[in-house]
Amino acid sequence: MSVVNVKHGAVHFNKETQTFSVELSSLQNSKVDNACHSRANIVAHNPETGAKVTMTFVKADMDGSNEDCYGWNYQGTNPDNGRSFKFLFIND
């Protein structure tokens, strides 16, 4: 399964919306890139706490012609505290 490190320097977090975001190319992780394109599950991993949460695909942000994808939206819920979060992988 594809794993994204939420503490990676290119990953940003918005507390108000509980949303992580990253430009996909900044991760330089072909497994995560392939998972987004195939809409497969991705694991969010926090190496500081050891927490791992499986995220599922929610939707793709497409242009008006439905040809170009701007990004992939995922969602996960931490089983330890029940808090949900979103993750946007930006197709750059």
For the chain, the domain total comes to 1
- What is the maximum alpha-carbon separation in the chain? 42
Number of other residues whose CB lies within 10 A of the CB of residue 56: 12
For residue range 10-48, what is the model confidence (pLDDT) as tens digits? 999 999 999 999 999 999 989 999 999 999 999 999 999
d(CA 37, CA 72): 8
For residue range 52-83, what is the model confidence (pLDDT) as tens digits? 999 999 999 998 888 899 999 999 999 888 99
Q: Which domain holds residue 35?
A: 2-90
Alpha helices (H) in 15-89, listed in sequence order: 24-27, 30-38
pTM of this structure: 0.93
For residue 61, give every residue at least 6 positions away whose Cβ sits within 8 Å of its Cβ, in sequence order, or none. Answer: 69, 70, 71, 72, 73
